[in-house]
């Protein structure tokens, strides 16, 4: 080949290149560089031609490649993707041509490859490739006149995704398999033609992705294609990489997008902190648009400086102006549907660990309650409500319980001692059947005071009336008051005892029944003279409370410490284990991640599961003294500690500054939980013992009336696994049932219902009755977490004026509450 002679016309009078400004050899990007000129001196007058890239492997040209008409594209976008999403990459002709120009120059420095290995005669130049990415040049550093596209992609990072090229030593023993059929025999197929967009929350990068091909793939032949083609961004390929190599690819495929893994964290955290998916779409779109306008402004500033001088400043327009169309940024932001899909994908990966963390919690004192607020968010495609209420349970550490309570408690050598509920008269029988006759079932004072509150009209004296009632129940600890006065006499020395009623450093006790009864009667009589103070239901509420007090349901159990010190020994701060008021706070907390009224069962399950995890970790840090890190990615935490342990170099994590009692660990561990059938039980309890009003049991593809089950059939369901439930239903169908058998069944389960007015018919039965027994890994809550009971439903009547025991705060509601959704 004839040597290309330098042209004197390409140099200025001072000897500098007129394109790149260099006095010696031309820069790589210089248009007058010999490599970018013709192959001989005769080519100098012709248009500058680019060299042909080296071959990658014998059967594939080094040019950009991709799925052909006879290839089965494994990366094809599935049907049903959001139409508002962007294409796979930058395919616009002007953008692609600009980026391809840079890629030709950069890829020329890459070594040749055969099969999946770098050729022996070539090595990767690590002086030019210190990592698997490169930066597009800064627009201001480009010689000559910079275009709008130069500013648009200025300083943008480009990832080159080919682990065989950059990590050849680590990938030496890796066998490339087809993502479609799983067979070996794949080879390189060049680089994808399109430029992949890698999106972050407020940044964009580009990706040039390696393509792979499997000739005579069985899946491709079944689709009348010759070969299957997939890229290095295919999820199955990324998952198959060695953990070390996978950690260097912080990307995730999201429908038509490739997002940074931090984007998945952003979506999850913003969702769980009160931002809806629709709001996230607007936020991300605004960030992408601002990035596009900033690039335009930089270009316009450059043009102004070229025209008027670098010192020229523009005057901002103060008066309103008519906005013009600045054009569309090729990446306009992730859609609401894609954000929801990414959240679901993240939670599916974390679900086993979250379930394991929650199932490892235990305790000796439990509070049980239910809420209607969360259940209203679950609706089907027709907008019909799926659930009526959600049962909840909390232990003494204010950690939310989910699954297999009795089995979990006994496996940790503990025994349930006290349970606070809303209605001990109806719940004591089945709770003692579950936890033993030694368990003490009490009614929490919170609901007692709420009954009084709802039996009063909204008068100015109602607030004082409630304060007097609270004082009648709770007695302050005199020792704690004296300690505070002695510690800080200037602040507390002249204060009366009532001043310390809401002080967390002063314990409260509910002990003397006679004194409480006397005080309640005195308060009731005193406020009776207030005109229009009491409703008609007040007399029944007052008599019912006195009856509960006589039965011992309202006072503290003997020999039980009702407080936990969450402070230090010198400065104690107490958290009470009494009452379900913390559950009411948790019910409000549950709604943080719920928006709208059309949540699918799967989305509702994921949101509630993540909410429970965050609540538990926060309370563990507050009450137990566990270390609370600034992340809820327990998969990352678990893997990090596991790697440290595997190397035998587990570091000494910093301890809490306060000397608190420590129990438990930051790392989630799967304990006594079987997750083998998690994918099959979406319609069991949907994670939180959400109940429904339906006349049939629905499981996958079968439907069968609930009233066809006998008591014996319900017991026999324990012997069947999740997959065998249809078989149990067929057995029940063959046995049949009679009205007498159903009456006998209702009589035997009478004590399991919450109301004395039992209505055992198929018109209001729970559709998840059978499903709640068909898996040992059912993620249920509260009274619905009782282990070892037949799977029944409690019928709760919410009609206030029809019962002397009507302690409910909600009138006119007939709802179903799950009792035993988990049988192990």
- Per domain, the residue ranges of the chain are 1-51, 52-331, 445-474+510-576, 678-818
- Beta strand 64-65 with 187-192 is parallel
Please write down the HEC assignment for all residues of 518-531: HHHHHHHHHHHCCC
What was the pLDDT predicted at 542?
92
For the entire predicted model, the pTM comes to 0.57
Both tokens assigned to 502: 């809401």
Element holding 95 (H helix, E strand): helix 93-107
Distance separating alpha carbons of residues 726 and 717, to the nearest angstrom: 10
What was the pLDDT predicted at 543?
92
Distances (CA, A) of 685 to 223, 613, 682, 790, 820: 39, 18, 7, 16, 11
Backbone angles phi, psi at 35, to 5 degrees: -70, -25
Whether 392 contacts 371, CB under 8 Å: yes
C-alpha angle 416/420/421, rounded to 5°? 120
pLDDT average per 10 residues of sequence, the chain (824 residues): 56 69 68 57 35 32 58 68 50 79 88 74 81 88 80 88 87 87 88 84 85 90 89 87 87 77 85 84 83 83 76 60 58 78 83 73 70 72 69 63 54 74 77 78 86 89 89 89 88 84 87 89 87 87 91 86 83 80 74 71 81 80 68 76 74 46 28 29 28 27 32 39 41 45 38 26 30 28 28 31 35 30 28
What was the pLDDT predicted at 604?
80
C-alpha angle 657/658/660, rounded to 5°? 130
* Among the listed residues 664, 637, 706, 603, the one whose alpha carbon sits nearest the alpha carbon of residue 337: 603
* Among the listed residues 261, 276, 255, the one whose alpha carbon sits nearest the alpha carbon of residue 350: 261
**Looking at residue 184, what DSSP letter applies?**
B
Whether 218 contacts 185, CB under 8 Å: no
Distance separating alpha carbons of residues 41 and 431, to the nearest angstrom: 96
Q: How many CA atoms lie within 13 A of 260 on its CB side?
A: 14
What was the pLDDT predicted at 540?
92
What was the pLDDT predicted at 125?
85
Distance separating alpha carbons of residues 559 and 546, to the nearest angstrom: 23
Distance separating alpha carbons of residues 728 and 553, to the nearest angstrom: 41
Whether 90 contacts 100, CB under 8 Å: no
Element holding 462 (H helix, E strand): helix 462-473
Element holding 244 (H helix, E strand): helix 243-246
């Amino acid at each position: 080949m004839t040597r290309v002679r330098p042209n004197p016309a390409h140099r200025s009078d001072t000897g500098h290149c007129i394109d790149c400004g260099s006095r010696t050899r031309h820069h790589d990007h210089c248009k007058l560089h010999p490599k970018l000129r013709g192959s001989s001196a005769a080519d100098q007058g012709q248009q500058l031609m680019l060299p042909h890239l080296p071959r990658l492997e014998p059967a594939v040209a080094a040019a950009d490649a991709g799925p052909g008409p006879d290839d089965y594209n494994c990366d094809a976008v599935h049907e049903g993707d959001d139409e508002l999403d962007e294409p796979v990459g930058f395919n616009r002709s002007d953008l692609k041509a600009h980026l391809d120009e840079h890629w030709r120059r950069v890829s020329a420095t890459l070594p040749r490859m055969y099969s999946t290995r770098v050729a022996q005669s070539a090595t990767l130049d690590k002086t030019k490739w210190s990592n698997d990415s490169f930066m597009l040049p800064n627009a201001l550093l480009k010689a000559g006149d910079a275009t709008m596209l130069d500013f648009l992609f200025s300083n943008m990072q480009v990832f080159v995704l080919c682990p065989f090229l950059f990590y050849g030593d680590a990938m030496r023993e890796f066998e490339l398999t087809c993502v479609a059929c799983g067979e070996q025999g794949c080879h390189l197929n060049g680089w994808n033609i399109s430029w992949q967009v890698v999106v972050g929350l407020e940044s964009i990068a580009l990706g040039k992705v390696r393509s792979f091909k499997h000739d005579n793939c069985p899946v491709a032949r079944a689709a009348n294609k010759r070969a299957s083609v997939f890229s290095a961004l295919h999820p199955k390929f990324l998952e198959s990489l060695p953990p070390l190599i996978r950690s260097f690819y912080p990307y995730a495929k999201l429908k038509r997008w490739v997002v940074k893994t931090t984007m998945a964290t952003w979506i999850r955290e913003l969702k769980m902190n009160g931002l809806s998916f629709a709001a996230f779409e607007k936020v991300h779109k605004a960030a992408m648009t601002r990035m596009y306008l900033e690039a335009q402004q930089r270009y316009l500033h450059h043009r102004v400086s070229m025209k008027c001088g670098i010192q020229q400043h523009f005057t901002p327009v103060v008066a309103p102006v008519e906005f013009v169309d600045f054009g569309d940024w090729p990446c306009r932001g992730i859609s609401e549907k894609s954000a929801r899909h990414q959240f679901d994908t993240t939670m599916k990966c974390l679900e086993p660990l979250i379930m394991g963390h929650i199932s490892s919690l235990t305790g000796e004192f439990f509070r049980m309650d239910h809420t209607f607020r969360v259940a209203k968010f679950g609706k089907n495609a027709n907008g019909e409500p799926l659930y009526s209420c959600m049962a909840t349970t909390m232990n003494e550490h204010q950690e939310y319980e989910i699954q297999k309570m009795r089995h979990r408690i006994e496996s940790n050598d503990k025994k349930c001692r006290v349970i606070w509920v809303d209605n001990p008269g109806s719940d004591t029988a089945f709770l003692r059947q579950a936890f033993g006759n030694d368990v003490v079932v009490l009614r929490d004072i919170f609901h007692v005071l709420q009954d009084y509150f709802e039996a009063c009209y909204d008068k100015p004296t109602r607030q004082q009336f409630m304060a007097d009632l609270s004082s009648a129940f709770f007695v302050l600890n005199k020792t704690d008051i004296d300690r505070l006065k002695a510690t800080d006499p200037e602040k507390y020395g002249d204060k009366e005892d009532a001043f310390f009623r809401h002080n967390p450093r002063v314990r409260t006790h509910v002990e003397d029944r006679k004194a409480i009864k006397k005080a309640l009667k005195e308060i009731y009589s005193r406020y009776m003279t207030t005109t229009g103070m009491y409703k008609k239901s007040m007399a029944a509420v007052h008599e019912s409370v006195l009856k509960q007090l006589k039965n011992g349901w309202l006072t503290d159990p003997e020999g039980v410490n009702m407080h936990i010190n969450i402070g230090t020994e010198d400065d104690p701060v107490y958290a009470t284990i009494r009452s379900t008021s913390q559950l009411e706070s948790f019910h409000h907390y549950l709604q943080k991640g719920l928006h709208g009224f059309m949540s699918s069962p799967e989305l509702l399950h994921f949101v509630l599961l993540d909410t429970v995890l965050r609540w538990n970790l926060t309370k563990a840090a507050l009450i137990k003294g566990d270390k609370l890190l600034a992340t809820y990615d327990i998969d990352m935490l678990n893997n990090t500690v596991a790697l440290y342990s595997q190397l035998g170099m587990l570091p000494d994590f910093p301890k809490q500054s306060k000397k608190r009692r420590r129990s438990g660990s930051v790392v989630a561990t799967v304990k006594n939980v079987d997750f083998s059938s998690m994918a099959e039980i979406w319609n069991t309890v949907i994670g939180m013992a959400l109940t429904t009003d339906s006349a049939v049991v629905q499981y996958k593809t079968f439907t069968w009336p609930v009233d066809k089950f006998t008591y014996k059939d319900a017991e026999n369901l324990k012997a069947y696994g999740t997959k065998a439930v249809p078989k149990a239903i067929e057995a029940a169908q063959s046995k049949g049932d009679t009205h007498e058998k159903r009456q006998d069944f209702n009589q035997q389960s009478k004590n399991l219902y919450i109301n004395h007015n039992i209505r055992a018919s198929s018109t209001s039965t729970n559709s998840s009755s059978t499903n709640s027994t068909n898996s040992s890994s059912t993620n249920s809550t509260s009274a619905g977490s009782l282990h070892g009971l037949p799977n029944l439903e409690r019928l709760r009547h919410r009609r206030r004026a029809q019962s002397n025991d009507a302690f409910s705060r909600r009138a006119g509601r007939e709802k179903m509450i799950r009792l035993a959704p988990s049988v192990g």
